[in-house]
Structure 1
Amino acid sequence: MSCRRSEDLSQPTTSRFVESIATTVRGQSDSADVEAVVLRAVAQRSDSIDLPDILELRSLLNVDGEQTDTLEEQVTTIISAVDAELAGWDCREACA
């Protein structure tokens, strides 16, 4: 795992980030993979997350998007799960 800074996802711009991702998903086909779009956006936003990290995150995330009412809520849920997972990675790196 490379060095990460999970606080990037907790900044006040998160609502704009969520809306940007939701707009991207809406612009794609009905079969858009919301989790993949969110992970791609997180990787583009971060200087410290690379492709192996994204692939690992994808395998670790356990998000049930069907439990949300709106696309924005689904995106927010995925971002929260990514943020929590990255916080765990930061903790493990600090303890190592």
Structure 2
Amino acid sequence: MSCRRSEDLSQPTTSQFVESITATVRGQSGSADVQAVVLRAVARRSDSIDLPDVLELRSLLDVDGEQVDTLEEQVTTIISAIEAELAGWDRREVAA
């Protein structure tokens, strides 16, 4: 795990950010991997998340997008899961 800061994401998980990611997903083919698109967008937004972090997050995220009604809710759920995972990483780094 490299340097991560959950506060990078917690700058308001604005509806604007969610809308931007949602538009990106909609702009891709119907088989777009929503989780991958969200992870890419989050990594671009954060200065402290690099490729190994994205790959690790991808393997750790357990988000069931089928249980939400809209694509916006799915994107928001994924972002929340990423924030929760990064907060756990921050706690482990502080304890180390």
Category of TM-score, reference length = shorter chain = over 0.9
Partners of 1:4 and 1:79 lie apart in 2 by 15
TM-score, normalised to structure 2, is: 0.96
TM-score, normalised to structure 1, is: 0.96
Q: Structure 1: which 5+ runs fail to align?
A: none
Q: Could you say which residue in structure 1 is the equivalent of 2:46?
A: 46
Q: Is 1:3 matched up with 2:25?
A: no
Q: Is 1:71 matched up with 2:71?
A: yes
Q: Could you say which residue in structure 2 is the equivalent of 1:30?
A: 30
* RMSD (CA atoms): 0.9
Deviations 1:8-33 (A, max 9, x none): 22223521110000000000000000
Q: Could you say which residue in structure 1 is the equivalent of 2:92?
A: 92
Please state whether the residue corresponding to 1:54 is helix, strand or coil.
helix
> Given residue 34 of structure 1, which amino acid in structure 2 is its aligned partner?
V
> Given residue 25 of structure 2, which amino acid in structure 1 is its aligned partner?
V
Partners of 2:70 and 2:8 lie apart in 1 by 23
Deviations 1:28-51 (A, max 9, x none): 000000000000001100111000
Partners of 1:61 and 1:21 lie apart in 2 by 18
Runs of 4+ in 1 over 6 A off after TM superposition: none
Q: CA deviation at 1:91?
A: 0.3
Count residues with an aligned counterpart. 96
Partners of 1:14 and 1:84 lie apart in 2 by 16
Partners of 2:13 and 2:32 lie apart in 1 by 24
